Structure 1
Amino acid sequence: MIKIAVVGTGNVGRFAITNALAEEDVELVGVITRKKHDLGIAGTENIQIAEDITALDVKPDVAVLCIPTRAVPETAEKCLNAGISTVDCFDIHGKIVDLRAQLDKAAKANGRVAVTASGWDPGSDSIVRTLMQAAAPKGLTYTNFGPGMSMGHSVAAKSKPAVRDALSMTIPLGTGVHRRMVYIEVEQGSTYEEAKEQILADDYFCHDETHVIAVDDINQLKDMGHGVHMIRKGVSGGTHNQILEFNMTINNPALTAQMMIASARAATRQNPGCYTLIEIPVVDYVQGEREDLVRKLV
């Protein structure tokens, strides 16, 4: 059994708890949260809740970090230094390589494994993009997200001092170009103009067309559905016009959580170090013996 602890009880964390309880080879040994209350999730009545992972009675093999992206570097390094492997859903694409180097050093120093940028994008989509490039080495791949709620962008918008709550919708415009529709409740004592300025200055939003819209109640707008359509048009050897497509319509936090649980399983099968999902054999994400999986899936 793979002993895991889920860190964080937001949207992804709650699905990670539920999904971990459903896995036959995973044992949930703790939940890390500052909220000292009943989780309200069936099957967690006897699961230990703590504010710090080192306070758990049973030391986990892997910490599944369901926390905001910008909290990942410090928290992951703390877990690794405590001798606990980690899985995170860090989603700032341009900073993944730097984080990977940082966590690789900590993981190897402590004989542990870190899996970074897990989830569906980055994550499972990264694996599909890699496979597409292998099939058609020359060409272009366009990743079109949505329409749907972006958790990372929503958290980033909500973190602004002038914002009480936020929902960021990703609208695909085609050829990998997106529009961000950011709906906000303005914090009391702040103005819409202040909130808009803070959001547009953030690295999550400053590279895309972004519209900030004030609303009365964010909860009336929330829908955790999302999706992706990837298309690659390329060349295999000397054969042109190879067109590859991949479509997925999902519940965003549920799939993110499932890929993180699968990554926790994979983490126990790797040598010490830090890995992105494309660096791990895909068979290692799946429950079962490798020979049996090869027989069934190949």
Structure 2
Amino acid sequence: MDLRRSLDAVAKKHGTVSIISAGWDPGSDSVVRTLLQAIAPKGITYTNFGPGMSMGHTVAVKAIEGVKKALSMTIPTGTGIHRRMVYIELEEGYDLATVAAAIKADPYFASDETHVNLVPSVDEVIDMGHGVNLTRKGVSGTTQNQLFEFNMRINNPALTGQVLVCAARATMQQRPGCYTMIEVPVIDLLPGDREENIRHLV
């Protein structure tokens, strides 16, 4: 929220628009979580990622000293808890135990069960696929036991790029300031004629 506030002030000062947290999570998944909470205001939402490649975790591993190449896979274990399966190639002169300890101590991994595996070639195990399951169990009005699920199986970089394009399109419709995706009208994410989109989707 501090970043959003500081960017909001800068954007307004310069008469421009920025949209932050605009991938698929955070981003489009945030919009889905918001909708689920709106239709069941009381309850719990679980976000279960994977199985698949986490771009953020992979970048974090690559920044660890001694790592030549890396892949971090996210494995869902349920109720929003995840296992991290990390595959690395080492730079010459580094040992697995030391590098694995540094990875597990990184804030990206410290809260999750993490396994670090040395492989001859990361390229041989890499897969850009990913996914998510959003589940909300809650209450609508006084009605108990409302259950909603949203599932995706995706190519991570492709979907991230598509959401960024949607967010860039939406900036053209907003007043100066900094926004998250849940603050942007969903219709502004779409290409084409506004009235035609309403006619088609409502």
Deviation at residue 98 of structure 1 after TM alignment: 2.4
Q: Deviations over 1:226-282 (max 9, x none)?
A: 111111110000000000111111000000000000100001111111111111000
What TM-score comes out, normalization by structure 1 length?
0.66
Deviation at residue 185 of structure 1 after TM alignment: 0.8
1:164 aligns with 2:74: no
Give the whole-Å Cα distance in 1 for the aligned partners of 2:197 and 2:122.
44
Alignment RMSD, CA only? Answer: 0.9
Deviation at residue 176 of structure 1 after TM alignment: 0.5
Counterpart of 1:257? 161
Q: Give the SS at the match of 2:199.
A: helix
Task: For 2:172, give the aligned amino acid.
Answer: T
Which stretch of the first structure deviates more once superposed, 208-217 or 287-296? 287-296
Counterpart of 1:144? 48
Give the whole-Å Cα distance in 1 for the aligned partners of 2:141 and 2:36.
14
1:133 aligns with 2:37: yes
Give the whole-Å Cα distance in 2 for the aligned partners of 1:104 and 1:195.
39
Task: For 1:286, give the aligned amino acid.
Answer: L
Give the whole-Å Cα distance in 1 for the aligned partners of 2:38 and 2:126.
38
Q: Deviations over 1:20-74 (max 9, x none)?
A: xxxxxxxxxxxxxxxxxxxxxxxxxxxxxxxxxxxxxxxxxxxxxxxxxxxxxxx
1:210 aligns with 2:114: yes
Deviation at residue 190 of structure 1 after TM alignment: 1.7
Deviation at residue 291 of structure 1 after TM alignment: 1.7
Trace 1:1-298 onto structure 2 (pairs within 5 A). 97-298=1-202
Give the whole-Å Cα distance in 1 for the aligned partners of 2:48 and 2:10.
34
Task: For 2:103, give the aligned amino acid.
Answer: I
Runs of 4+ in 1 over 3 A off after TM superposition: none
Deviation at residue 286 of structure 1 after TM alignment: 0.3
Unaligned runs of 5+ in 2: none
Q: Give the SS at the match of 2:36.
A: helix
Give the whole-Å Cα distance in 2 for the aligned partners of 1:190 and 1:108.
48
Give the whole-Å Cα distance in 1 for the aligned partners of 2:14 and 2:99.
42
Deviation at residue 200 of structure 1 after TM alignment: 1.4
Unaligned runs of 5+ in 1: 1-96
Give the whole-Å Cα distance in 1 for the aligned partners of 2:106 and 2:14.
34
What TM-score comes out, normalization by structure 2 length?
0.97
